[in-house]
Structure 1
Amino acid sequence: MGILDKAKQLGEKVNESVTAFSSDEVIANTVIKAVEKQEKVNAILKAKGSNYRVADIDLGMGIPPTVSFGVRRIDEITDGFGEGEAEGQALNASFD
Structure 2
Amino acid sequence: MGYFVVFLTIVLLIYFIIRKIRQLKRLGNSERRVYCLFAEKISVAETENFSRYYGVFQIAEEEIRLEIPYQLYLQHQQPERGLLIYRDQQFIAFEK
TM-score range, shorter chain: 0.3 to 0.5
Q: Could you tell me the TM-score, scaled by structure 2's length? A: 0.34
Q: More strand per residue: 1 or 2?
A: 2
- Normalised to the residue count of structure 1, the TM-score between the two structures is 0.34
Which structure is richer in relative contact order (CA contacts within 8 A, separation 6 or more)?
2
Name the one with the larger helix percent: 1
For the pair shown, the structure with the greater C-alpha radius of gyration is: 2
